[in-house]
Amino acid sequence: MKKMIELIGDELVRAFEQCSYDSKYAKVSISNRPDLCEYQCNGAMACAKEYRKAPIVIAQEVVEVLKDNDIFDAVEAVAPGFINMKLSGKFVSDYIEGMRTSGKFGMEENKNPQTIIVDYGGANVAKPLHIGHLRSAIIGECVKRMGRFLGNKVIGDVHLGDWGLQMGLIIEELRCRKPELSYFDESFTGEYPKEAPFTISELEEIYPAASKKAKENEEFAKKAHEATLKLQSGDRAFTAIWKHIIAVSVADLKVNYGNLNVEFDLWKGESDAQPYIEDMINDMIAKGYAYESQGATVIDVSLPDDKKEIPPCIIRKSDGAALYATSDLATIIEREKLYSPDRYIYLTDKRQELHFVQVFRAARKTKLVKESTSLEHLGFGTMNGKDGQPFKTRSGGVMRLEYLIKEVNDAVKARLEESGKIVGQEAEDTARIIGLAAIKYGDLSNQASKDYVFDIDRFTSFEGNTGPYILYTIVRIKSILAKFSQENSMSDIGGFKLLPAATAEEKRLMLTLLKFVDVMENAFAEIAPHKICQFVYEVTDAFSTFYNSVKILSEEDTARKQSYIALISYTKEILEAAIDVLGFEAPERM
Ligand code: ARG
């Protein structure tokens, strides 16, 4: 279906042309004064300059043409030259009927679907998931879902940090603790055990202990570094330990991401890029892109109009080690080979911005990607506590994700039990669903690049612009529909006809709903999940005003009642589709 704004635009184009004005002035926008009108055209002002006429005269001429058009209820020229429009109620309800019956909310088929890699999550193996990775998971999941909703082929990759110094640290610490393991016996030639020599809890304790030790003990740090190099050059014993670390960690990460309703198509990591590195560097040197500088191998990536200096991208250190940038470049080679994406979107903390500028420029310069391929980094801000400092636990440590989730869920459960309607296991399960909405909506409703304050009290409130309030609206509609279905069949609702709105409140709800696909497209074009949140909140607000202005179930006029039911049921459908893209869902009751 054409967008509402395009349909109105078409009428305006015709009217401008009929009055012999250039149709480029016939631009329509949603009114920023909803108290005065629903849509507006401000083109008469710009048009006035070209045609040397008063804008109000132009606006009046155009209005004269539009006056008899039955898509409008009212069209007015207002000083100095605005054209204000109100749509006819029937045109609006017919449009929503079109959305309802065309499927997929009236969205047109995506004729040029793109293949998009979303690189998000970015957890580091063997280190517990902490809230630093939370935003990447939440925003990335939403970006992936937005892309899919609009008909693209989107591949989500967790891109684990599975190849760094942490591996050497763990290996050496393990050697100190369990020197008797066959991995440390140089003369061992048999098969290494299938069973990992540690559990996830041990692993999570080993890494911080080793990392602390390395800071205090130079000898240990050196050994860990050597162990890392040995692993990276393919040592059999260390590779076996490394595989255990990955397996144990990934199993745990899957549970954690699962609890966040975050799902990756690919569980690849930095290690998958390793086989490409050697050839890549040789090739870059051979083609003259990379050169030796103070023992390291670098690619110049600065450009003449850079406002600040962009240092060269180092792809090999003087000791021969590969770096973060090396692995990101080699990963591009693999992704080109396997998926040949049109677009790459990376999500990390915005402090990694320079890294991605360097990597993207190096990738373009060395022609790893086609010119038309888009490389984008969405750098997000920090999640702060109420004190404005990065969010910490009560004891001041870095908050682990599971504890944060638990704290939120407990807060929600307490609220549920306060009301007394839901208790015990149901309260527990429902709190988990609502808690996730509280966390995700609290995050996504902010512009991603900005820092924000994670305020558990506010985020878990059932009132205001919060995740729980959005769910509450959906639950409320579910409960009206459930009452309705006691005497009627739910399956009939699809066939109920939507009548033109009887009141301003009802019309406002319809005008809000019909923007859905437009909002989704804009939000994805700008990679701006907060725009979906704004829309969702606008819908809940319009719904609740409408709901308070009518009696739905006791309406006596059957056709009107059925129309109300169709409208709220469609409101629910749109809200559910929108929150699914945001990455959470509504409970049955709350
Ligand atoms: N593991 C990295 C970190 O914890 C994030 C990885 C992001 N993705 C990438 N391709 N660099 O900072």
Q: What single string gives the DSSP state of each residue in 500-515?
A: PPSSHHHHHHHHHHTT
Q: How far is 390 from 383, CA to CA, in rounded Å?
A: 6
**507 Cβ contact list (under 8 Å, min separation 6):** 89, 92, 501
Closest CA to ligand 1's atom 7: 122
Closest CA to ligand 1's atom 2: 122
**Residue 40 lies inside a defined structural domain of this protein:** yes
Nearest Cα to Cα of residue 118 among 440, 367, 447, 374: 374
Q: What is the pLDDT of residue 232?
A: 86
Q: What is the pLDDT of residue 398?
A: 63
Q: What is the pLDDT of residue 233?
A: 86
Helix axes 424-444, 529-549, angle to 10 degrees: 120
pTM: 0.95
Buried b (16+ CB within 10 A) or exposed e, 288-313: ebbeeeeebbbbbbeeeeeeeeeebb
361 CA to centre of ligand 1 in angstroms = 18
Regarding the beta carbon of 162 and ligand 1, being less than 6 Å apart is answered no
**Residue 376 lies inside a defined structural domain of this protein:** no
- Tokens (6 digits) for 157: 């990759």
**Residue 338 lies inside a defined structural domain of this protein:** no
Domain end residue (candidates: 234, 259, 284): 259
122 CA to centre of ligand 1 in angstroms = 4
Domain that holds residue 56: 4-87
277 CA to centre of ligand 1 in angstroms = 18
**Atom in ligand 1 nearest the alpha carbon of residue 161:** 1
* Amino acid at site 89: G
**Residue 344 lies inside a defined structural domain of this protein:** no
**Residue 473 lies inside a defined structural domain of this protein:** no
Q: How far is 415 from 382, CA to CA, in rounded Å?
A: 28
Regarding the beta carbon of 346 and ligand 1, being less than 6 Å apart is answered yes
**Residue 507 lies inside a defined structural domain of this protein:** no
Regarding the beta carbon of 328 and ligand 1, being less than 6 Å apart is answered yes
**Atom in ligand 1 nearest the alpha carbon of residue 160:** 1
Give every strand in the sheet of 153-157, ordered side by side.
153-157, 115-119, 343-349, 374-380
Regarding the beta carbon of 161 and ligand 1, being less than 6 Å apart is answered yes
SS3 state of residue 12: helix
Domain end residue (candidates: 209, 243, 259): 259
Pocket test for ligand 1, best of 143, 159, 264 (most atoms within 8 A of CB): 159
The CATH number assigned to the domain holding 35 equals 3.30.1360.70
- As averages over each run of 10 residues, the pLDDT of the chain (590 residues) reads 96 97 96 93 95 96 96 96 97 98 94 98 85 91 98 98 92 97 96 95 91 95 94 93 96 93 97 96 98 97 96 93 94 98 97 97 98 97 87 64 89 91 93 98 96 92 96 97 90 93 97 98 97 98 97 96 97 98 97
Q: What is the pLDDT of residue 391?
A: 78
List, in sequence order, every residue forming a beta bridge with 333; answer none if it has no partner. none
Regarding the beta carbon of 529 and ligand 1, being less than 6 Å apart is answered no
**Atom in ligand 1 nearest the alpha carbon of residue 352:** 12
329 CA to centre of ligand 1 in angstroms = 13
Number of other residues whose CB lies within 10 A of the CB of residue 1:
16
**Residue 269 lies inside a defined structural domain of this protein:** no
159 CA to centre of ligand 1 in angstroms = 7
Domain end residue (candidates: 46, 66, 87): 87
Q: Where are the beta strands (DSSP E) in 320-444?
A: 343-349, 374-380, 383-384
Q: What is the pLDDT of residue 393?
A: 58
Q: Give residue for tokens 């939440």.
A: 138
Q: What is the pLDDT of residue 114?
A: 98
Closest CA to ligand 1's atom 12: 122
Number of other residues whose CB lies within 10 A of the CB of residue 545:
15
Q: Total structural domains in the chain?
A: 2
155 CA to centre of ligand 1 in angstroms = 16
134 CA to centre of ligand 1 in angstroms = 13
Regarding the beta carbon of 124 and ligand 1, being less than 6 Å apart is answered yes
**Residue 120 lies inside a defined structural domain of this protein:** no
